[in-house]
Structure 1
Amino acid sequence: MSERTALVVGGTSGIGLATARQLHTAGATVHVVGRSKERLEALAVSDPELVGHRADGGDRAQITEVLKTIGSLDWLVVALSGGEGAGPFADLDLDVLRSAFDAKFWGQLTTVQAALPHLAEDGSITLLTAISARTGLPGASGLAAVNGALESMIRPLALELAPRRVNAVSPGLVDTPWWGGLPQDARDAYFAHAAGQLPVRRIAAPEDVAEAVVLAATNRNLTGTVLEADGGLRLVSIN
C-alpha cells in the first residue's frame, strides 16, 4: 500500500480526518481537502504527515487545481457533509433543504466528476452518506432525501465507472462536530439515551466509521455497496 495515493475531501475533522489518519497508518500518501483555514492550520500541527489543501468540494475549478498538484489518484473519499435539512416536514424550509443538497449532494458529485480524469483504473470512490436514507426517523425526511439521492447512484456508477470501484458508507449516530449546534449537556443527554436503545449500546466514534471507509476504499472485491456502519440504528426506533 506504500505506493498508493489517497484524497479525502472534507477531511479536516470527524470521520474524514479519522479516515485520512487510518489510510496514512496503512502506508498511503494522504491528501486532505478542507475549506477552513483554521482547521488546515491545526491539521498541519497535529498531523504533519497529511498533505492539506484549501478548497471547496463544491467548486470544480478549485478541486481540479488540487488534483493537478496531486497527479494520479488511487483512492478518493468524499466526506462532505452539512447540518442542514433536518426538522419536521411541515415546517421544513425548502430553501434550507436546497442548500443542504448543494453542500452534500452536489458537492460530492462535483468532486467525483473532477477527480475522474486523475483516478487510476484500479482506483476507488467512497462516498459518505448517512443512515437517515435507510430508516424512518421522524424529522429526517430532508436528510433522507439528500443521502438517499447519493446512495441511489452507487450501483449504476459501479457499473458505469468499472473497473474503478464505487461504494458508500452510511453512518448512524457518531460523536463528531456535526452535532456542534447542540449544547454539550443536551448532546450528552441525547447520546446517553440513544446508546441505551442501540443494539451496540454505544455511540460511535469517528474512528469506528473510518474503519468501514478504509475497507470500502481499499478492498479490491468491494463495489456497488453501501456499508451500514450505524450500530444497528436502522433496526430500532429511538424514542
Structure 2
Amino acid sequence: MGTSLVVGGSSGIGLATAVRLLAHGDSVHIAGRSPQRLGAATAAHLDLKPHVLDAGDPAAVAAVLEEVGPIDRLVVTLSGSKGAGRLADLDLGELRSAFEEKLWPTLTVVKAALPHLGSRGSVTLVGAVTARIGMPGTAGIGALNAAVEALVAPLAAELAPLRVNAVSPGYVDTPWWSGLPATDREAFFAEVAQGLPTGRIASADDVAEAVVLLATNANLTGTVIESTGGAHLTA
C-alpha cells in the first residue's frame, strides 16, 4: 500500500496502470490534460483522484505535487505520436514538438517529484519499442523514445535507493492509434498480429501489468522491460 501518481493516467496504458495500482491497495492520483478524459476515467473508477495537468508546465506540476503530498510510486506515461516517417520526408519541426510533448515533460515531472518521493519509492517511465529496433520510418520517433529510456540507467544509479525503471511497449491497442479510422486500424492490427510471435496485439492492461511490476517490486531498478509481443524479434 502507498500513494501513486500516474501522469498521463486518464486513458490507455496510464489508466490501466492506475486501475492495477488501485487493486494493489494504493491511493492513486491520475493527471492529464483533458478534463473530459479524466472525468470519464473517474466515473468508471470512482476511487481515482483526478488532476488536470499540462506536464510541460513546471508551475502546474509543482502545484499538483504539493496537492498530492508524499508519493511512493510515480509513473510517467506521456504520448509521443509525432515524428514518424522517413528521414527525407520528416518534418523536423514536428519532431521537435514531439520532444516537447514527451521528453521534456517527463524530465520536468521526475525532477519536480524528487522531493516528494520516499527514498524507497519508484519512478517508472514508458518508452516504446521504436527505441530498440531498426524499422524504416522510425528514426525520429525512435530517437524520442530512446531518449526517454536512456534516462533509466543513470537515474537509477544517481537516485538510489529510489528505483527507476521503464517499460518499452510494442503494438498496443490504445487511443494512440485513434488517428486511424476504425476499419483501417482493425485491418492494420490484424496484419501486424500475424507477424508477431504472440499472434496478437497487446491491450493496455498487458503493458500496465509490467509497469506495476516495476513500480512495486523492491528488487528491480535500472531495468527496461520489453512488452512487445516479440516485435523486437521480427522487425
RMSD of aligned Cα (Å): 0.7
The letter for the 2-side match of 1:97 is L
Secondary structure at the residue paired with 1:123? strand
Secondary structure at the residue paired with 2:202? coil
Structure 2 match to 1:51: 49
> How many residues end up aligned between the 2 structures?
235
In the alignment, which of 119, 125, 128 is matched to residue 127 of structure 1? 125
TM superposition outliers: structure 1 runs of 4+ over 4 Å:
none
Structure 1 match to 2:220: 222
The letter for the 2-side match of 1:207 is D
* CA gap 1:196/1:102 in 2 versus in 1, 3 angstroms: same
In structure 1, C-alpha distance between the alignment counterparts of 2:201 and 2:38, rounded to whole Å: 27
Moved more, 156-165 or 35-44: 35-44
In the alignment, which of 177, 182, 185 is matched to residue 184 of structure 1? 182
The letter for the 1-side match of 2:166 is A
In the alignment, which of 167, 170, 182 is matched to residue 168 of structure 2? 170
Q: Name the TM-score, length of structure 1 as normaliser.
A: 0.97
Secondary structure at the residue paired with 2:144? helix
The letter for the 2-side match of 1:230 is T
The letter for the 2-side match of 1:93 is D
Structure 2 match to 1:79: 77
* Cα pair 2:80 2:141 within 8 Å, conserved: no
The letter for the 1-side match of 2:134 is G
Structure 1 match to 2:35: 37
* Cα pair 2:15 2:41 within 8 Å, conserved: no
Displacement of 1:42: 1.4
* Cα pair 2:5 2:31 within 8 Å, conserved: yes
Deviations 1:47-94 (Å, cap 9, x if unpaired)? 111000001111111111111111100000000113101111100000
In structure 1, C-alpha distance between the alignment counterparts of 2:39 and 2:49, rounded to whole Å: 11
In structure 2, C-alpha distance between the alignment counterparts of 1:221 and 1:175, rounded to whole Å: 30
In structure 2, C-alpha distance between the alignment counterparts of 1:40 and 1:18, rounded to whole Å: 13
In structure 2, C-alpha distance between the alignment counterparts of 1:92 and 1:185, rounded to whole Å: 26
Moved more, 40-49 or 98-107: 40-49
The letter for the 2-side match of 1:94 is L
In structure 1, C-alpha distance between the alignment counterparts of 2:122 and 2:113, rounded to whole Å: 11
Displacement of 1:137: 1.2
Matching of residues 73-112 of structure 1 within 5 Å: 73-112=71-110
In structure 2, C-alpha distance between the alignment counterparts of 1:80 and 1:57, rounded to whole Å: 9
The letter for the 2-side match of 1:124 is S
Gaps of 5+ in 1: none
Gaps of 5+ in 2: none
In structure 1, C-alpha distance between the alignment counterparts of 2:215 and 2:58, rounded to whole Å: 22
* Cα pair 2:4 2:71 within 8 Å, conserved: yes
Moved more, 219-228 or 147-156: 147-156
In structure 2, C-alpha distance between the alignment counterparts of 1:6 and 1:44, rounded to whole Å: 15
Structure 1 match to 2:201: 203
Secondary structure at the residue paired with 1:58? coil
The letter for the 1-side match of 2:207 is V
In structure 1, C-alpha distance between the alignment counterparts of 2:27 and 2:80, rounded to whole Å: 27
Q: Percent identity among equivalent residues?
A: 57
Displacement of 1:201: 0.4
In structure 1, C-alpha distance between the alignment counterparts of 2:45 and 2:58, rounded to whole Å: 26
Structure 2 match to 1:139: 137
The letter for the 2-side match of 1:75 is R
In structure 2, C-alpha distance between the alignment counterparts of 1:120 and 1:179, rounded to whole Å: 35
In structure 2, C-alpha distance between the alignment counterparts of 1:12 and 1:64, rounded to whole Å: 19
Deviations 1:70-122 (Å, cap 9, x if unpaired)? 11000000001131011111000000000000011111111101101100010
Q: Name the TM-score, length of structure 2 as normaliser.
A: 0.99
Displacement of 1:43: 2.0
